[in-house]
Amino acid sequence: MTRKLAVWLLLCLAGGFNARAWGVIGHRVVHQMAIYGLPEPLRQFYFGERTYLLQHADRADLRRADDPDEAVRHYINIDHFGPRAAWQMPMYWTQARQKYPADTLLKHGILPWYTEQMRQRLTQAFRRRDVDSILFYSADLGHYLADAHVPFHVIQNYDGQLTGQEGIHGLWESDLPSRFLADYQLYQGNARYLAKPQVAVWEAVRRSFKLAQTALAAEHQVAAQFTQATKFEAAYPGRLMRPRHSPAFMDQYQTALGDMVAQQMRAAAQMVASYWFTCWVDAGRPSLPRPAVAPQGPVAPDQLAQELAAWRANQLHAQGWLLSQPPVKE
Ligand SMILES: [Zn+2]
């Protein structure tokens, strides 16, 4: 078994391939891209732990099955609070609590406030140089930040259910990235220090909110050329409990959206890397231990350099180096 195949199988076993936010593939790609965007010595440390970080990129979604408090951390129905709420909502939880009762806020989702709690925990983990906690919070914080970049995680009409566009959520965040990943430009540039992380995450929510309107309008236009019978697959075998769009519909919708999904993947990766970097800087730039030998075996010394070159040239997929993609037959 090749090492690439072993890593892929390990990731499959850990997560399965049913649809969740960004899809499993999307979350893993975002985390992988984020690692490349880090400065040294963080990059070397995270790269050595990439199997864990990718394996657990969707752990927060899996937790929803057991923890009733989990689901609200993945979204915010911002327009419940008014059409301009994305620009007017208090950025910090204590201020939001002064304006609204906790049960109202919890009912409509707490994503951009919960990332702040995660940011503080990751910063504390860096201060303690506690590797297990650093990895744990890095994986979860990355997940929630990536969710903030999905337009259908920030609106009430989160699956087009209010406008007869059911299924658009999974289509946008899971089916399109799975189908078109090879075509996406996946180089997002380097991490930046975030002097005001809360401003950054709310900017992401606003961008997602605006994109949701564009994505819904585009779906409406494309759907006008289809009937219900041609828009959806007649039957879809497997574990998905939702209607699945036909390949012809997916192709036209992808064309209508242009770069939108890939652009949001890049923006998510950029923000995840910037948060990880910011937490480390705020913790006083602690030295980090070299990672233990990764589960898939020692990494070739020049492997990171080769992957970085492929990332910059947008060749990760072509090289078969996206760890969440099925291995190219050798
Ligand atoms: Zn999620």
**Segment 236-285, tens digit of pLDDT:** 555 556 678 999 999 999 999 999 999 999 999 999 999 999 999 999 99
Interval between CA 63 and ligand 1 midpoint (Å): 10
Query: Structural domain boundaries of the chain?
Result: 3-312
Check residue 24 and give its pLDDT: 86
What's the DSSP call for residue 298?
P
The band of 50, judged by pLDDT with boundaries at 50, 70 and 90, is very high
- Rounded distance, CA 252 to CA 299, Å? 41
Interval between CA 287 and ligand 1 midpoint (Å): 31
Reading the block at residue 148, the tokens are 């903030």
- At residue 315, the 3 state secondary structure works out as coil
- Mean pLDDT for the chain overall: 89
Q: Which DSSP string corresponds to 152-165?
A: GGSSSSTTSTTTT-
| pLDDT (average), residues 132-149 | 98
**Cis amide linkage into residue 41, ω under 30° from 0:** yes
Which residues have a beta carbon within 5 Å of ligand 1, which is an ion? 21, 61, 74, 147
Check residue 295 and give its pLDDT: 54
Please tell me the CATH code under which domain 3-312 is placed.
1.10.575.10
- Rounded distance, CA 8 to CA 5, Å? 5
Interval between CA 73 and ligand 1 midpoint (Å): 8
Distances (CA, A) of 216 to 111, 142, 165, 200, 203: 22, 26, 8, 24, 20
14 CB-near residues (< 8 Å, 6+ apart): 55, 56
119 CB-near residues (< 8 Å, 6+ apart): 141, 197, 275, 278, 279
Model confidence pLDDT, tens digit, residues 172-214: 999 999 999 999 999 999 999 999 999 999 999 999 999 999 9
**CA-based nearest residue to 4, from 310, 324, 302, 306:** 324
Reading the block at residue 284, the tokens are 């006083």
Reading the block at residue 238, the tokens are 């497997």
Check residue 130 and give its pLDDT: 95
Interval between CA 117 and ligand 1 midpoint (Å): 16
Please indicate whether residue 298 or residue 276 has the higher confidence score (pLDDT).
276
Reading the block at residue 178, the tokens are 């799975």
Q: State the chain's maximal CA–CA distance in angstroms.
A: 59
Interval between CA 269 and ligand 1 midpoint (Å): 15
29 CB-near residues (< 8 Å, 6+ apart): 177, 181, 186, 265, 269, 322, 324
Interval between CA 58 and ligand 1 midpoint (Å): 7
First to last CA, the chain: 11
The band of 12, judged by pLDDT with boundaries at 50, 70 and 90, is very low
